[in-house]
Amino acid sequence: MLIFNMKRVAIYIDGSNFYFSVKKKFKCKIDIGKFCEKLTGNDNLVKINYYIAPVNRMSNPEMYSEQQKFFDKLSKIKNLKIILGRLEKRKRDGKIYFIEKATDVNLALDLVLDSQAEEFDKAFLISNDGDFSGAVKAAVERFKREIVYAAIGSLKTVSHHLKEVSSDTLDINEDFIEDLKL
């Protein structure tokens, strides 16, 4: 049987935001491939973009090794592309820490450019970062794309800005992820 109303689906994942949101809300890890398949349903999944900053091998060899294993798992997911940002070293009050740079800009830019290029009919944004609201608004209003905000978190962490500009909001709850846990 042919299905003529299948939408082309793209998924944009803010990797760090996704990881920490799932960890905080569900206290587990989930299978990203199955998660994306579940989001897509019977539609046609054309791309998954996963945005993250790589850990520096010299700064934290153990974490670097774990992240490389994770990247290997991600590379086996059909249509998934890893888009790397960078970690920048900062020092404050005598403490050294790292901040993620370029991942959010890369995601926002890809969402808008892919919308303009008509690469998808429907997209899912996996992030609670309200800074994406401008890109989502442009994709929805200017390029007439359907953008679904997949909200993971509590009332405090879910972005009300994203809820306002998205075509729809999908609450990722315990029932949704029950069969996706690792």
What confidence tens digit (pLDDT) does each residue in 35-48 have?
Answer: 999 999 999 999 99
Torsion of CA 123, 126, 129, 132, to 10 degrees: -20
Helix ranges (H only) for 8-54 are 15-26, 32-40
Give the pLDDT band of residue 3 (cuts 50, 70, 90): low
Structurally, how many domains does the chain consist of? 1
The reply to whether 99 falls in a domain is yes
pLDDT for the residue numbered 4 = 67
Question: In 3D, which of 67, 103, 71 has the Cα closest to residue 84?
Answer: 103
The reply to whether 79 falls in a domain is yes
Q: How far apart are CA 17 and CA 152, in angstroms?
A: 9
At 91, give phi and psi (nearest 5°).
Answer: -130, 130
The reply to whether 3 falls in a domain is no
Q: How far apart are CA 37 and CA 42, in angstroms?
A: 9
pTM of the model: 0.93
The reply to whether 2 falls in a domain is no
* Average pLDDT across the chain, whole number: 93
The reply to whether 54 falls in a domain is yes
pLDDT for the residue numbered 107 = 98
The reply to whether 57 falls in a domain is yes
Q: What is the pLDDT of residues 43-96, one digit of tens each?
A: 999 999 999 999 988 878 999 999 999 999 999 999 999 999 999 988 999 898
The reply to whether 102 falls in a domain is yes
Tell me which residue range forms the domain holding 87.
Answer: 13-128+138-156+164-180
Q: What is the pLDDT of residues 141-166, one digit of tens each?
A: 999 999 999 999 766 778 999 999 99
Report the length, in residues, of the chain.
Answer: 182
- φ/ψ region of 121 (left if φ > 0, alpha if ψ in -120 to 50, else beta) reads alpha
Q: Which helix (H) or strand (E) holds 47?
A: strand 44-52
Give the pLDDT band of residue 2 (cuts 50, 70, 90): low
Q: How far apart are CA 20 and CA 152, in angstroms?
A: 10
Instruction: Indicate if the pLDDT at residue 1 is higher than 90.
Output: no
